[in-house]
Structure 1
Amino acid sequence: MINIAIIGTGSISIAHIKAYCQFRDRCKIVAFADIYPEKAESYVNKYQLEAKVVSDYKELLDDPTIDAVSICTPPFTHAQLSIDFLRAGKHVLVEKPMASSLKECDEMIQAAQESNKLLSVVAQNRFINPIMKLKHVLEQNLIGKISHVQVDSYWWRGYSYYDLWWRGTWEKEGGGCTLNHAVHHIDMLQWTMGMPKEIVAVASNTLHDNAEVEDLSVAILKYENNALAQVTSSVVHHGEEQQLIFQGEKARVSVPWKVKAQKARENGFPYPESDADVESKITECWEQYPELKYEGHTGQIDHFLSAIAEDKTLLIDGIQGRNTIELISAIYKSANLGIKVQLPLDSDDPFYTRDGILSNVKHFNEKKTSVEGFSDATITTGGKYE
């Protein structure tokens, strides 16, 4: 039995609690830590758990009964919490974003290596059927050389979203929609395409003047093979119609699922009809990939528990989490300094450290309101990939 502690009981922690509760034969939630312990107590009662509650996470570091922790706190706390628990001999599953800077990511990875404990970063969209199927199709090289990827990370958040005390500030949230919303799509992009060689980006705050950070950014990534990717990160798009589109030499595939393959006439112009043979092979590859038993947070937590119990390799570890933060850091560097950014970012780069980032980013506005919480803790997950 793997004993779990939940660190932070904000809205996202509910997804972790529900997931762990699906595997009561494999794990048990034995502790919560939150600066608002009454919130944690309400979850203990709601989910009928036999778990202790503390207001200071440090009380759990030396608890020998705890095997692993889920860190569900605001982004600016992720690094220190992860490092402390790893050094205390606990496996760590940390919510996105992994950390506020590459330096913090490297310190977390080092702590995991030194403690010989698992460090995994939440990327629950990898654990859904459409994304797994798309990844499988791309790995079969059925669409040929990829020339262009379109990533639409479209979310919508009302004005009051940034009233929460830690949101909308560079210091505590670490960034805006690029870091805290598009992180999922940027993770999926680097998972499928690898790391680019250069990035150019722009960012703006268009509709949330109660936040220092961006609510919209657009980035162009260029790869070694000259392929381009465009990433739009947003919390101003009504409808939240999210998609990833891969244009290849032989065909186009995407989530939500669509396949299109065109044939060229002698003069290079397309025939009106599609290349049915190519489309059929790609569709068959998509449909034959086995369905996942669990999806989303539940799928990732199932995987995390298996990795602990069976010494399996993590699908997303600290290195993978760091790759995503490096891309986001490069987007912020380009958007704030108005330059083309070459990758990788070195340790002497101003956007490698948290202090360097804070010294170089623009404050679009100053935060006007700060509330401790909302009475409605509902989280919606935006567009679907079906």
Structure 2
Amino acid sequence: MIQAAVIGTGNISGSHIEGLLTFPERCRIAALVDIYPEKAEAARKKYHLEGAQVFDSHEKLLESGLKIDLVHICTPPSSHAEIAVHCMDAGCNVLVEKPMAPSLKECDAMLEAEKRNGVTMGVVAQNRFRNSIYKLKKTADSGLAGKIRCAHVNSLWWRGHCYYDLWWRGTWEKEGGGPTLNHAVHHIDMINWIQGGLPTEVTSVLANVMHDNSEVEDLSFAALRYADGSVAEVTSSVVHHGEEQGIVLQCEKAKLAAPWSCVAEVTQANGFPVPGHNQELMQKLKDTYAALPDLLYEGHTGEIENVLTALETHTRPFITGDDGRKTVELITAIYKAGFQKRTVTLPIAPEDEYYTMEGLLKNAVHFYEKSASVENFAPEEISVGNYDQK
């Protein structure tokens, strides 16, 4: 029986708690931790976790002597590295919410702690465990559509002005960035996974067009170029009504997209497309997609099940710290390009000023200054993605 602790009992912690509770025969929630212990107590009551102990710091949890095998880190991004390293140094395995950390230096410290202590670290990228994304990847990998030549990545969310009133949001120091880091992290992980690696060049534009209570961007556009000559564009936003998220892959022979659609063209002698498309190829692609079995568990529950299996079988989780680091590296390049208003190259070396949080803070553009904040919001519904809309 895996003994789990959840550190940080804000909005996203519910997805972790519900995921763990899906497998009562495999794991048990032994502790809840929050700097506001009343929030942890509320979660304990809500989910009927009578046996769980409540702590107001991760240090007190680690000092308590309570046996913990797996720690879920659901705190603001600026604290991820410190908590993860402390927990791994105490012999705990960890599952870290997105983004892994705001800087590459912190990511590398986390990876070193994992290696040093012989423990396992997973990083949340739960949307690889969505049927629409998983099946898109598998269909692209079939080769039927040919190589990916151009990708359009739409990480389109909407957040009201008051979203950035929360004390840690909307600051470079505590949140680490805007939707590029904290929302598009999902889609940037997806494009890294689908493409099989990072681009070599990045150009970007950063803006804040709707949230004057936030230092950070609320909108960015990034253009990516890969070593094989293919390109991609990524839009990261919290200003898009409708939250119409998705990925479109323009391949040599067809377009594939999530939410699922496919179109294939074939040329006439004059270069214009044949009316009615390439129906034969489109049917093959649809059949390939339809034949893929659904995942047994989706979202956070799917990733948590995978991490539990990794711990039980002494294997690596599907989404590792290396994956989380790659996502942070591409996001860092987007910020660097946007701050400097030029095209930048990857990889980002340790000597690069942008490798550290201090370097990012030194160079970050403050669109506005955050002058007031609130300590907590009342518990309400949150949106965690709109991946299967029709």
The aligned residue for residue 175 of structure 1 is 177
Structure 1 stretches of 4+ with a deviation exceeding 6 A read none
1:158 aligns with 2:165: no
The aligned residue for residue 276 of structure 1 is 279
AA in 2 matched with 1:78 = H
1:287 aligns with 2:285: no
Given the superposition, is the C-alpha separation of residues 43 and 84 from structure 1 closer, same or farther in structure 2, using an over 3 Å criterion? Answer: same
Once the two structures are superposed, residues 86-120 of structure 1 have per-residue CA deviations (whole angstroms, 9 ceiling, x without a partner) of 11110100000100100000010011011111111
1:214-363 matches, within 5 Å, as: 214-363=217-366
1:148 aligns with 2:180: no
The aligned residue for residue 74 of structure 2 is 72
Is the deviation greater in 262-271 or in 330-339?
A: 262-271
User: What's the CA shift for 1:375?
Assistant: 1.4
AA in 1 matched with 2:28 = K
AA in 1 matched with 2:11 = S
1:197 aligns with 2:231: no
AA in 1 matched with 2:55 = V
**2:187 aligned counterpart, secondary structure:** helix
AA in 2 matched with 1:170 = W
- Determine the C-alpha separation between the residues in 2 that align with 1:331 and 1:58: 34
**1:274 aligned counterpart, secondary structure:** coil
- Determine the C-alpha separation between the residues in 1 that align with 2:92 and 2:227: 39
User: What's the CA shift for 1:64?
Assistant: 5.1
Once the two structures are superposed, residues 308-341 of structure 1 have per-residue CA deviations (whole angstroms, 9 ceiling, x without a partner) of 1112321110000000000000000000011111
The aligned residue for residue 11 of structure 1 is 11
AA in 2 matched with 1:212 = E
Q: TM-score, normalised by structure 2?
A: 0.97
User: What's the CA shift for 1:268?
Assistant: 1.4
Gaps of 5+ in 2: none
The aligned residue for residue 98 of structure 2 is 96
Whether the aligned pair in 2 keeps the contact of 1:239 and 1:383 (CA below 8 Å) is: no
**1:351 aligned counterpart, secondary structure:** helix
Q: How many residues align?
A: 386
**1:272 aligned counterpart, secondary structure:** coil
1:95-134 matches, within 5 Å, as: 95-134=97-136
Gaps of 5+ in 1: none
Once the two structures are superposed, residues 280-302 of structure 1 have per-residue CA deviations (whole angstroms, 9 ceiling, x without a partner) of 11111111111111100111111
1:36 aligns with 2:39: no
Within the candidate set 129, 136, 139, 2:138 is matched to 136
- Determine the C-alpha separation between the residues in 2 that align with 1:91 and 1:377: 30
Whether the aligned pair in 1 keeps the contact of 2:11 and 2:379 (CA below 8 Å) is: no
- Determine the C-alpha separation between the residues in 2 that align with 1:296 and 1:158: 25
AA in 2 matched with 1:356 = G
The aligned residue for residue 54 of structure 1 is 55
- Determine the C-alpha separation between the residues in 1 that align with 2:205 and 2:190: 21
**1:325 aligned counterpart, secondary structure:** helix
AA in 2 matched with 1:61 = L
Question: Cα RMSD (Å) of the superposition?
Answer: 0.9
Once the two structures are superposed, residues 3-50 of structure 1 have per-residue CA deviations (whole angstroms, 9 ceiling, x without a partner) of 001101111101111111111110000011111101111111121111
Whether the aligned pair in 2 keeps the contact of 1:334 and 1:341 (CA below 8 Å) is: yes
- Determine the C-alpha separation between the residues in 2 that align with 1:37 and 1:376: 15
User: What's the CA shift for 1:60?
Assistant: 1.9
- Determine the C-alpha separation between the residues in 1 that align with 2:244 and 2:133: 15
AA in 2 matched with 1:77 = S
**2:155 aligned counterpart, secondary structure:** strand
- Determine the C-alpha separation between the residues in 2 that align with 1:59 and 1:336: 40
- Determine the C-alpha separation between the residues in 2 that align with 1:313 and 1:382: 26
- Determine the C-alpha separation between the residues in 1 that align with 2:99 and 2:114: 17
- Determine the C-alpha separation between the residues in 2 that align with 1:369 and 1:234: 23
- Determine the C-alpha separation between the residues in 2 that align with 1:125 and 1:94: 15
AA in 2 matched with 1:242 = Q
The aligned residue for residue 45 of structure 2 is 45
**1:271 aligned counterpart, secondary structure:** coil
AA in 2 matched with 1:27 = C
Once the two structures are superposed, residues 199-248 of structure 1 have per-residue CA deviations (whole angstroms, 9 ceiling, x without a partner) of 00010000000000000000000001111100000000000011100001
- Determine the C-alpha separation between the residues in 2 that align with 1:273 and 1:263: 9
AA in 2 matched with 1:213 = V
AA in 2 matched with 1:42 = A
- Determine the C-alpha separation between the residues in 2 that align with 1:92 and 1:187: 19
- Determine the C-alpha separation between the residues in 1 that align with 2:91 and 2:83: 13
- Determine the C-alpha separation between the residues in 1 that align with 2:295 and 2:138: 13
- Determine the C-alpha separation between the residues in 2 that align with 1:81 and 1:189: 28
